[in-house]
Structure 1
Amino acid sequence: MAQWAIEYLLLWGLIFGLSWGVAAWIDGSDWKGVPGWLSGRAWWFVVAIGVVGLLMGTVAPVWRYRVHRWEVSADVVYTRTGWFSREWLLVPVSRIQTVDTGQGWIERILGLATLKVNTASHTGSSEVAGLPVALATRMAEDLAHRAHDLRDDAT
């Protein structure tokens, strides 16, 4: 959850900084291309972006944590995602082609990793983000061995 909060806050912080710069430019310029209604109200936009950014940085990670689920059983990898509409994805272990782990720079700082389960079908691929590195590595090895042992003819 901390990973998502940091990602949202960094993104909205960048947007906030850019809007601050644009508002300062609009407020301090004598450029005639700025509409009259905007020249006196440019800072309202900055405040609105700041409020939305704080809400996204605090509410969205909690919401994602409550909605996103995953489970690995003996023969299937199950993931559930979605904000308003939900998507359940069941990936049979016998159909797994590759299992990867990856880390972005925020995940590296937090000691987390993302497990990616790939099949021949794009819609059959799945990923689980925010796992501890040791767990993601162990799960990737286990799934790869089980997929090899359960491999069947996919034709």
Structure 2
Amino acid sequence: MNELTHFNTQGRAKMVDVSDKAETVRIARARTSVIVNQNIYSQIRDGSNKKGDVFAVAQVAGIMAAKNTAQIIPMCHPLALSGVDIEFEWDVDEKRGHYEVILSTTVKTKGPTGVEMEALTAASAAALTIYDMCKAAGKEMVIGPTMLLHKSGGKSGDYSRA
């Protein structure tokens, strides 16, 4: 039977002690998407959004979010990240009127605990930033699904979404 590691002897939530865990290289990749309308797609592609370069701002927001994950997710450990990258790729079908930007994040550290939450937080914050920068051109945007694609390193081993 697995012991519940996030509860103290009184049954209250606690931050897990990772001081005895081995420091290993840990990498996590996450993904989300934002479905936009044709006008928003055009604004992002041609750089005409009134708030500026949408992907540049979303990139910085995602990196900042990864670095600050422990500030907003209560049981996450503050981590020294060694790398954060966010890539944007369009999935467009003009005939169907489908305009979707796919955001892929990769976060890396060498430490005693994984970076899955940092990768997911980076993806989420970058997607929310796209929404914020583009909402004047249409509020019907759809964010998600958001998911972990891969993680490596640590005691639990590797994981890859099928």
- Category of TM-score, reference length = shorter chain: under 0.3
Q: Specify which structure has the higher proportion of helix.
A: 1
TM-score, normalization: structure 1?
A: 0.24
TM-score, normalization: structure 2?
A: 0.23
